[in-house]
C-alpha cells in the first residue's frame, strides 16, 4: 500500500499534505496538524524555519513538560528562524574566540538575542515538490546545554540534504530554564519528576517529527538522531530512556558518549539546588516556585548563577535521575541491555581537551607553555568516574598518563583525557550495543588545520562539525585556513553520515570500507591528519578492556 501511495503521489507531483501556493505567493505551503505554513525556496531546495513544535514555555508553563501548540488560522510565515532559547548574549563566542586567537585571528561573533519563547525547529528538504519518503536526520546542537540553537548558520542544511535526506534542527530549553529541579515541581508533576525539561523538549520535537514530517516528504519510520558535544550526550540520554520507543532508528554521537563524561545527578541534589534558588527569589508568595515563575527569565538566570557560585557547583545544564525520563545510570542501561534498539555511529576528535584549555583564563597561547597544573587536577578528579570502566586498572591508567605528561605535557594530557573520558566509553558503548544485536560504527577525527594554532589545538572539540555540514564559509569557522582537501573530506563525511541515516550502513561504492564494530579487532574509521578516510583496527586505549562480559559485570552495579 505504501508503494502504491507513493506512485500515486509521484503521479500528481504534489507532496502528501502539501497545499498549492496561493496566487502571488512565493514559497511552498504545507498543511500540518496545527495549521498551514509557508516556507521559502532556494532553487529546488525548500526551507521551513521557525516552526513551533510546542507551546511557548512561559508564565505557568515555565518548568513544565512541553505542551501542544495552539492551532492557528491562515498561513503562518516560516521563512525566519524562531528565537534562541535563553542564554548569555555571547552565545558560543567565548568558545570560538580563543581558538581563533591561537590562529592569530581576532574573532568577534554577533550577539545572540534569546527568549523564553523558543521551542521552534527548522526543516530542510532537498527538492520541492517532494519526491518520495526520504530519511530524516534530527540535529541536537552542542553548547554545554547552556548555549547555542538549531538555527546557527553552521547548521544550514543545504549541503547535507543534497545527499537525499531531510534535516530537522531544533531549539531546546537551556541552562536553569531547561535543567532545573525543585521539590514543588516534583510534587506538581503527574510523573513525580522534575529537572529534564530540555530533554523533554527534544522528545516533543521527535514526536512532532513523527506526526508531521511526512508533509515535508520525510519518512517518520526512518529517523536518525544526531548531535555533538552536549547534543550528543543528550542523544545518548534519549537512547537509554524508555520514553524513546519508536521515535528513531539510528543515533550518531559526536564527541559526547552518554557515560564517561559524568552522569545525571540524583533528583534530590537538583531539588536541593532548586529549593535554595527559590528561597533566594524575591516575591510575596510563600512558594519559592511561584516567586521564581514571576521573575523575568534573565533574573532567574542571574539568581541561579549567584546561588550556584555561593553554595553549589556544576548544576546548570545537568540532567537528573528523575524516575521517569531517566531512572538509572546510562552505563547500567547499556550493561543490562535495556537501551533502545538503534544502530549507532559514535566517535571523537583527536584532541578534545585542547579547546577547553584555550578557554581558561590562564590558557596557554603556545604548545610549549601549558597550564599543566589544572589539567593534572582534571585527570586526577576523573579517577572515580574511570573506575567503573577500568576497575582495578584505574590507578595504573592514571599513573601511566601522568608519567607521560611529565615529558610531553599538553599533548599527553589531551591524550589522557581523550582515552579515558571518551575513547574507552565509546568502545564500551559499541561493544555493549553490538552484544545486544545492534550495529556500531566507530570513528576518530584527527584532521587538524595547518596554521599558527595547529600545534596548540590539533583536532579540537567541535572541529568535525563544519565538515559534517560543509560550513567552511560560516563566520564561526571561516577564520580557519581550510584547503581543498578539507572540502573533499567534508564530502566524504557527509556521504558516510547520510548513508548511515538511509540504511544503517555508512558505506557506498567509492568510499573506503567502514567495518561495523566487533570486539575481536575493534575496527574504526580514522579521518586522518592528511584529510583522508583510512580504516583502522585496535581502537581501545591502554588498560581499557572491552570484553562485553567484563563490561556487563562492571557496569551493571552503576
Percent composition of the chain: helix, strand, coil (DSSP 3-state, to 5): 40, 15, 45
Cell numbers for 131: 519526491
**Could you tell me the sign of the dihedral formed by the alpha carbons of 85, 468, 326, 54, in that order?**
positive
* pLDDT attached to residue 15: 34
Cell numbers for 529: 591528519
Cα separation, 476 vs 495, whole angstroms = 23
Cα separation, 508 vs 505, whole angstroms = 8
Instruction: Find how far residue 472's CA is from the centre of its chain.
Output: 20
Cα separation, 437 vs 342, whole angstroms = 9
* pLDDT attached to residue 463: 98
Tell me if residue 66 falls in helix, strand or coil. Answer: coil
Q: Which of 352, 464, 494, 526 is catalytic?
A: 352
Cα separation, 510 vs 525, whole angstroms = 15
Written as one string, the DSSP assignment of 274-326 is HHHHHHHS-SS-S-HHHHHHHS-HHHHHHHHHHHHHHH-SS-TT--EE-SSS-
Q: 84 with 116: CB under 8 angstroms?
A: no
DSSP 109: P
Tell me if residue 204 falls in helix, strand or coil. Answer: helix
With vertex at residue 420, the alpha carbon angle to CA 417 and CA 423, rounded to the nearest 5 degrees, is 95
Contacts of residue 547, defined as CB under 8 A and 6 or more positions apart, other chains included, come to: 431, 519
Q: 354 with 449: CB under 8 angstroms?
A: no
Q: For the beta carbon of residue 206, count every other beta carbon within 10 angstroms.
A: 25
Indicate the helix (H) or strand (E) that contains 21: none
Structural domains in the chain plus CATH codes: 1-66+84-341 (3.40.50.1820), 360-558 (3.40.50.1820)
Cα separation, 450 vs 190, whole angstroms = 54
Contacts of residue 302, defined as CB under 8 A and 6 or more positions apart, other chains included, come to: none
Q: Which of 84, 431, 461, 494 is catalytic?
A: 461
Q: What is the pLDDT along the chain (558 residues), one digit of tens a residue?
A: 333 333 223 322 333 333 333 434 689 999 999 999 999 999 989 999 999 999 999 999 999 999 999 999 999 999 999 999 999 999 999 999 999 999 999 999 899 999 999 999 999 999 998 888 999 999 999 999 999 999 999 999 999 999 999 999 999 999 999 999 999 999 999 999 999 999 999 999 999 999 999 999 999 999 999 999 999 999 999 999 999 999 999 999 999 999 987 778 899 999 999 999 999 999 999 999 999 999 999 999 999 999 999 998 766 667 999 999 999 999 999 999 999 999 999 999 999 999 998 887 544 444 444 444 454 555 555 566 778 888 888 878 888 887 877 777 788 888 888 999 899 999 999 999 999 999 999 999 999 999 999 999 999 999 999 999 999 999 999 999 999 999 999 999 999 999 999 999 999 999 999 999 999 999 999 999 999 999 999 999 989 999 999 999 999 887
Cell numbers for 252: 550518531
Written as one string, the DSSP assignment of 231-269 is HHHHHHHHHH-GGGTTS-SEEEEES--SSSS--PEEHHH
* pLDDT attached to residue 392: 82
* pLDDT attached to residue 499: 98
In sequence order, what are the beta bridge partners of 527?
445, 533
Cell numbers for 70: 495552539
461 catalytic, yes or no?
yes
For the chain, the C-alpha Rg in angstroms (whole number) is: 23
Q: Which of 229, 244, 319, 448 is catalytic?
A: 229
Amino acid at each position: 500500500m505504501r508503494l502504491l501511495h507513493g506512485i500515486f503521489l509521484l503521479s500528481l507531483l504534489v507532496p502528501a499534505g502539501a497545499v498549492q501556493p496561493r496566487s502571488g505567493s512565493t514559497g511552498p505551503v504545507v498543511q500540518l496538524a496545527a495549521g498551514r505554513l509557508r516556507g521559502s525556496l532556494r532553487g529546488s531546495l525548500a526551507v521551513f524555519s521557525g516552526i513551533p513544535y510546542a507551546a511557548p514555555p512561559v508564565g505557568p508553563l515555565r518548568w513544565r513538560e512541553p505542551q501542544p501548540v495552539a492551532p492557528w488560522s491562515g498561513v503562518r510565515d516560516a521563512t525566519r528562524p524562531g528565537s534562541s532559547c535563553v542564554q548569555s548574549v555571547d552565545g558560543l563566542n567565548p568558545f570560538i574566540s580563543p581558538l581563533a586567537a591561537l590562529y592569530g585571528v581576532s574573532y568577534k561573533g554577533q550577539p545572540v538575542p534569546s527568549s523564553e519563547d523558543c521551542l521552534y525547529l527548522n526543516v530542510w528538504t532537498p527538492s520541492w515538490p517532494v519526491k518520495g519518503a526520504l530519511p530524516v536526520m534530527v540535529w541536537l546542537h552542542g553548547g554545554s546545554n547552556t548555549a547555542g540553537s538549531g538555527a546557527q548558520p553552521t547548521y544550514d542544511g543545504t549541503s547535507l540534504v543534497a545527499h537525499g535526506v531531510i534535516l530537522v534542527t531544533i531549539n531546546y530549553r537551556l541552562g536553569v530554564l531547561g535543567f532545573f529541579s525543585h521539590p514543588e515541581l516534583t510534587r506538581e508533576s503527574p510523573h513525580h519528576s522534575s529537572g529534564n525539561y530540555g530533554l523533554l523538549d527534544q522528545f516533543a520535537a521527535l514526536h512532532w517529527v513523527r506526526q508531521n514530517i511526512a508533509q515535508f516528504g520525510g519518512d517518520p519510520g526512518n529517523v536518525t538522531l544526531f548531535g555533538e558535544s552536549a547534543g550528543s550526550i543528550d542523544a545518548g540520554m534519549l537512547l537509554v530512556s524508555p520514553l524513546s520507543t519508536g521515535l528513531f532508528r539510528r543515533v550518531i554521537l559526536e564527541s559526547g558518549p552518554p557515560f564517561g563524561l559524568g552522569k545525571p545527578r540524583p533528583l534530590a541534589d537538583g531539588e536541593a539546588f532548586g529549593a535554595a534558588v527559590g528561597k533566594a527569589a524575591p516575591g510575596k508568595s510563600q512558594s519559592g516556585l511561584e516567586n521564581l515563575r514571576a521573575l523575568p527569565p534573565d533574573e532567574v538566570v542571574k539568581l541561579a548563577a549567584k546561588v550556584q557560585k555561593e553554595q553549589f557547583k556544576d548544576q546548570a545544564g545537568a540532567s537528573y535521575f528523575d524516575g521517569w525520563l531517566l531512572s538509572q545510570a546510562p552505563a547500567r542501561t547499556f550493561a543490562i541491555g535495556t537501551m533502545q534498539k538503534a544502530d549507532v555511529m559514535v566517535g571523537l576528535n583527536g584532541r578534545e581537551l585542547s579547546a577547553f584549555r584555550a578557554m581558561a583564563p590562564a590558557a596557554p597561547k603556545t604548545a610549549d607553555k601549558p597550564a599543566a597544573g589544572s589539567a593534572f587536577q582534571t585527570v586526577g578528579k576523573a579517577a572515580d568516574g574511570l573506575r567503573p570502566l577500568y576497575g582495578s586498572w584505574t590507578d595504573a591508567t592514571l599513573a601511566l598518563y601522568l608519567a607521560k605528561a611529565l615529558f610531553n605535557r599538553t599533548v599527553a594530557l589531551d591524550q589522557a583525557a581523550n582515552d579515558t573520558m571518551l575513547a574507552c566509553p565509546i568502545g564500551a558503548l559499541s561493544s555493549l550495543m553490538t552484544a545486544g544485536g545492534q550495529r556500531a560504527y566507530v570513528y576518530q577525527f584527527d584532521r587538524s588545520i595547518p596554521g599558527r594554532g595547529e600545534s596548540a589545538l590539533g583536532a579540537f572539540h567541535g572541529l568535525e562539525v563544519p565538515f559534517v555540514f560543509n560550513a567552511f564559509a560560516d563566520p564561526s569557522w571561516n577564520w580557519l585556513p581550510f584547503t581543498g582537501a578539507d572540502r573533499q573530506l567534508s564530502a566524504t563525511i557527509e556521504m558516510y553520515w547520510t548513508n548511515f541515516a538511509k540504511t544503517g550502513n555508512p558505506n557506498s561504492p567509492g568510499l573506503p570500507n567502514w567495518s561495523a564494530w566487533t570486539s575481536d579487532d575493534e575496527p574504526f574509521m580514522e579521518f586522518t591528519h592528511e584529510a583522508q578516510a583510512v580504516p583502522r583496527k585496535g581502537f581501545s586505549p591502554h588498560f581499557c578492556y572491552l570484553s562485553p562480559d567484563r563490561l556487563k559485570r562492571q557496569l551493571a552495579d552503576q
